[in-house]
Structure 1
Amino acid sequence: MTLITVPLAVIPFSPFVSSIGLLTQTGDYTRRSFIYGSVICLLVALVPALTRLFCSIPLPVSSAVMLVSYLPLLFSALVFSQQITFTARNIYRLALPLFVGIFLMALPPVYLQDLPLTLRPLLSNGLLVGILLAVLMDNLIPWERIE
């Protein structure tokens, strides 16, 4: 996967939302930082000792690091939500993806173990499912008629 993503200058196995966090944290909006990150990921993938080292990092530590890139994303979402006048009908636009995402993040992994291996990473990521649900709802529901 890393060999495919390096020419595209994207960081492999990283959701797009963390890329937004990286942009806001660094203030560097050029592709250069993504190219550097992709090359570093490629080098790590090519050196087994480095791969083992990064795989040995406990999940809570790596999650704390990812939190740093997600906080600016939360800030931008809160700023954007101030531009919307919520009503009793359109609150579902925000609440449903948010609560589904939180529910999936709190769901014990044992509930997902019977699902196909291709679906488990998607459904165990509450942030990704919440974003997908928000995009689907935004494109499929005629909000202008509801409001």
Structure 2
Amino acid sequence: MGAPGVPRACAWLSRRLGPRGLALATSGISWITYGASIAVQPRYGTVRGISVLLGLRPMWFWGCVWITAGVIALVYAAARPGRDLPGVGAAMAPPFLWALAYALGAATGASTTAWGAVTPWASHALLILLIAYLTRPRVIVPKAVVPGGAD
């Protein structure tokens, strides 16, 4: 069992952020912790799978990219839908980049198992896109009134 105030805090957070903000906050926290882990102690499979990116920058750099994206997503989690697009982009960019890097790693033969990581990473970016699309602000366009015209 958790602490007595946890369900109340979760309910408050859910009401405050909504599904879109919760998705950004969850991604933000996840990207910060994942980025810290790969910056400090990258896993062998990750290094092999994204070797294309490692030709451009070292792993600590890519860890900082994940951390930065996570912070941006977390900051924009409290913004209203429509004003949180930088957070949505930040939540989508790292997993999409990783999916692309793993696909290139598989295509170039750098890793024979890299293909297996493409879909999981791409699916997270797609899920964020779907949540953002489904919770987007509805734009109401008023009917145009033509002066002197018939209705």
Establish whether TM, by shorter chain, passes 0.5: no
Q: Which has the larger radius of gyration?
A: 2
Q: Which has the higher contact order (CA 8 A, sep 6+)?
A: 2
Task: Give the TM-score of the pair, scaled to structure 1.
Answer: 0.31
